[in-house]
Amino acid sequence: MSNYRERLIFLNFLPISSERLAAEGIRSSLLMSRLKALQIDCRRVVVELVELTAFSSKTLASAANHLTKEDFLIAIDDFGCKESSPERVAQVKPNILKLDRQLLIDYMEGTKEPLLNGITLAKECHAKTVIEGVETEQQLEAMKALDIDFFQGYHLAMPQALLPRLKLVS
Protein backbone atom coordinates (compact mmCIF):
# COMPACT_ATOMS: atom_id res chain seq x y z
CA MET A 1 0.00 0.00 0.00
CA SER A 2 1.35 3.42 -0.91
CA ASN A 3 1.86 6.15 1.64
CA TYR A 4 -1.43 7.75 2.71
CA ARG A 5 0.09 11.19 2.18
CA GLU A 6 0.19 10.44 -1.56
CA ARG A 7 -3.52 9.64 -1.86
CA LEU A 8 -6.65 11.74 -1.86
CA ILE A 9 -8.44 11.69 1.47
CA PHE A 10 -12.21 12.11 1.36
CA LEU A 11 -13.86 13.65 4.42
CA ASN A 12 -17.64 13.72 4.71
CA PHE A 13 -18.89 17.08 5.98
CA LEU A 14 -22.36 18.08 6.97
CA PRO A 15 -23.08 21.29 5.05
CA ILE A 16 -23.48 23.16 8.34
CA SER A 17 -20.00 22.00 9.41
CA SER A 18 -18.34 23.52 6.37
CA GLU A 19 -20.33 26.72 6.88
CA ARG A 20 -19.18 26.90 10.49
CA LEU A 21 -15.59 26.10 9.56
CA ALA A 22 -15.52 28.95 7.06
CA ALA A 23 -17.18 31.36 9.50
CA GLU A 24 -14.74 30.58 12.33
CA GLY A 25 -11.67 30.64 10.12
CA ILE A 26 -10.24 27.65 8.33
CA ARG A 27 -6.59 28.45 8.98
CA SER A 28 -6.96 28.33 12.76
CA SER A 29 -9.28 25.32 12.79
CA LEU A 30 -8.76 21.94 14.41
CA LEU A 31 -8.93 20.40 10.93
CA MET A 32 -5.95 22.45 9.70
CA SER A 33 -4.06 21.66 12.90
CA ARG A 34 -4.58 17.91 12.41
CA LEU A 35 -3.66 18.01 8.73
CA LYS A 36 -0.47 19.88 9.55
CA ALA A 37 0.42 17.41 12.33
CA LEU A 38 -0.11 14.50 9.91
CA GLN A 39 1.79 16.35 7.16
CA ILE A 40 -1.17 16.13 4.80
CA ASP A 41 -1.40 18.80 2.12
CA CYS A 42 -4.86 20.41 1.79
CA ARG A 43 -4.68 19.74 -1.96
CA ARG A 44 -5.04 16.04 -1.11
CA VAL A 45 -8.20 16.53 0.96
CA VAL A 46 -11.63 16.26 -0.65
CA VAL A 47 -14.41 17.81 1.43
CA GLU A 48 -17.55 15.83 0.59
CA LEU A 49 -20.68 17.84 1.23
CA VAL A 50 -23.37 15.32 2.10
CA GLU A 51 -26.94 15.53 0.87
CA LEU A 52 -28.39 17.21 3.97
CA THR A 53 -29.83 20.71 4.18
CA ALA A 54 -27.47 23.65 4.68
CA PHE A 55 -28.19 26.60 6.96
CA SER A 56 -28.46 28.64 3.78
CA SER A 57 -27.39 28.07 0.20
CA LYS A 58 -25.55 31.40 0.24
CA THR A 59 -23.41 30.52 3.27
CA LEU A 60 -22.73 27.04 1.87
CA ALA A 61 -21.49 28.55 -1.39
CA SER A 62 -19.32 30.98 0.59
CA ALA A 63 -17.93 28.11 2.70
CA ALA A 64 -17.09 26.10 -0.41
CA ASN A 65 -15.34 29.16 -1.83
CA HIS A 66 -13.26 29.57 1.35
CA LEU A 67 -12.30 25.88 1.31
CA THR A 68 -11.33 26.11 -2.35
CA LYS A 69 -9.14 29.15 -1.64
CA GLU A 70 -7.29 27.05 0.96
CA ASP A 71 -6.66 24.40 -1.75
CA PHE A 72 -9.20 21.83 -0.56
CA LEU A 73 -11.10 19.94 -3.25
CA ILE A 74 -14.89 19.99 -3.01
CA ALA A 75 -17.23 17.10 -3.79
CA ILE A 76 -20.99 16.92 -3.69
CA ASP A 77 -21.91 13.53 -2.29
CA ASP A 78 -24.97 11.50 -3.28
CA PHE A 79 -25.99 13.74 -6.19
CA GLY A 80 -29.63 13.07 -7.08
CA CYS A 81 -30.60 12.48 -3.46
CA LYS A 82 -32.22 15.01 -1.10
CA GLU A 83 -30.38 18.37 -1.21
CA SER A 84 -27.60 17.20 -3.54
CA SER A 85 -29.29 18.84 -6.49
CA PRO A 86 -28.42 20.82 -9.63
CA GLU A 87 -29.01 23.99 -7.61
CA ARG A 88 -26.36 22.95 -5.07
CA VAL A 89 -23.93 22.11 -7.88
CA ALA A 90 -24.44 25.58 -9.37
CA GLN A 91 -23.88 27.24 -5.99
CA VAL A 92 -20.91 25.19 -4.81
CA LYS A 93 -19.09 24.57 -8.12
CA PRO A 94 -17.57 21.25 -7.00
CA ASN A 95 -14.45 19.59 -8.32
CA ILE A 96 -16.15 16.19 -8.02
CA LEU A 97 -19.77 15.13 -8.39
CA LYS A 98 -20.52 11.80 -6.73
CA LEU A 99 -23.57 10.30 -8.41
CA ASP A 100 -25.89 8.51 -5.99
CA ARG A 101 -26.25 4.74 -6.22
CA GLN A 102 -29.99 5.10 -6.82
CA LEU A 103 -29.25 6.79 -10.16
CA LEU A 104 -27.25 3.70 -11.14
CA ILE A 105 -30.07 1.37 -10.05
CA ASP A 106 -32.65 3.43 -11.93
CA TYR A 107 -30.41 3.46 -15.02
CA MET A 108 -30.06 -0.32 -14.91
CA GLU A 109 -33.87 -0.62 -14.63
CA GLY A 110 -34.40 1.56 -17.72
CA THR A 111 -34.79 5.07 -16.26
CA LYS A 112 -31.64 6.49 -17.80
CA GLU A 113 -32.31 10.25 -17.92
CA PRO A 114 -31.51 11.21 -14.28
CA LEU A 115 -28.03 9.63 -14.41
CA LEU A 116 -27.30 11.01 -17.87
CA ASN A 117 -28.42 14.48 -16.75
CA GLY A 118 -26.08 14.27 -13.74
CA ILE A 119 -23.14 13.34 -15.96
CA THR A 120 -23.95 16.22 -18.32
CA LEU A 121 -24.22 18.68 -15.43
CA ALA A 122 -20.85 17.58 -14.05
CA LYS A 123 -19.17 17.99 -17.43
CA GLU A 124 -20.72 21.44 -17.87
CA CYS A 125 -19.19 22.62 -14.58
CA HIS A 126 -15.88 20.82 -15.24
CA ALA A 127 -16.32 18.42 -12.31
CA LYS A 128 -15.04 14.86 -12.31
CA THR A 129 -17.72 12.20 -11.85
CA VAL A 130 -17.87 9.24 -9.48
CA ILE A 131 -20.64 6.66 -9.70
CA GLU A 132 -21.38 5.19 -6.29
CA GLY A 133 -22.61 1.70 -5.47
CA VAL A 134 -21.18 -0.48 -8.23
CA GLU A 135 -21.92 -3.96 -6.89
CA THR A 136 -21.91 -6.21 -9.97
CA GLU A 137 -19.87 -6.74 -13.13
CA GLN A 138 -22.99 -5.91 -15.19
CA GLN A 139 -23.29 -2.53 -13.45
CA LEU A 140 -19.59 -1.83 -13.90
CA GLU A 141 -19.72 -2.57 -17.64
CA ALA A 142 -22.81 -0.38 -18.09
CA MET A 143 -21.16 2.51 -16.23
CA LYS A 144 -17.88 2.13 -18.16
CA ALA A 145 -19.88 2.72 -21.35
CA LEU A 146 -20.83 6.19 -20.05
CA ASP A 147 -18.67 9.30 -19.66
CA ILE A 148 -17.90 8.65 -15.97
CA ASP A 149 -14.45 9.29 -14.53
CA PHE A 150 -14.35 7.04 -11.44
CA PHE A 151 -16.23 4.06 -10.04
CA GLN A 152 -16.90 3.18 -6.41
CA GLY A 153 -18.51 0.13 -4.88
CA TYR A 154 -18.15 -3.25 -3.21
CA HIS A 155 -17.66 -4.96 -6.58
CA LEU A 156 -14.39 -3.06 -6.96
CA ALA A 157 -13.04 -3.10 -3.41
CA MET A 158 -14.12 -3.34 0.17
CA PRO A 159 -13.25 -0.41 2.46
CA GLN A 160 -9.90 -0.80 4.19
CA ALA A 161 -8.30 0.93 7.14
CA LEU A 162 -5.22 3.02 6.35
CA LEU A 163 -3.47 1.88 9.52
CA PRO A 164 -3.78 -1.25 11.65
CA ARG A 165 -6.58 -1.06 14.16
CA LEU A 166 -5.63 0.03 17.63
CA LYS A 167 -6.49 -2.21 20.54
CA LEU A 168 -8.72 -0.46 23.01
CA VAL A 169 -7.70 -0.87 26.62
CA SER A 170 -10.58 -1.80 28.89
Q: Could you tell me the CATH number of the domain that includes residue 73?
A: 3.20.20.450
Q: What is the pLDDT of residue 4?
A: 63
If one counts the domains in the chain, the total is 1
At position 74, the amino acid (one-letter code) is: I
Mean pLDDT of 28-45: 89
In the structure, what pLDDT confidence band is assigned to residue 111 with cuts at 50, 70 and 90? very high
Tell whether 158 is covered by a domain.
no
Domain with 74, as residue range(s), is: 13-151
Tell whether 4 is covered by a domain.
no
Nearest partner of 70 among 97, 96, 98, 36, judged by Cα = 36
6-10, 116-120, 166-170: which is most confident: 116-120
Residue 69 backbone phi and psi in degrees, to 5: -65, -25
- Determine what percent of the chain is predicted with pLDDT higher than 70: 89
Tell whether 123 is covered by a domain.
yes
Strands 9-13 and 73-79: unpaired
| pLDDT score of 133 more than 80 | yes
Q: What is the pLDDT of residue 16?
A: 77
Tell whether 166 is covered by a domain.
no
Angle ∠(139,144,146) on CA atoms, nearest 5? 105
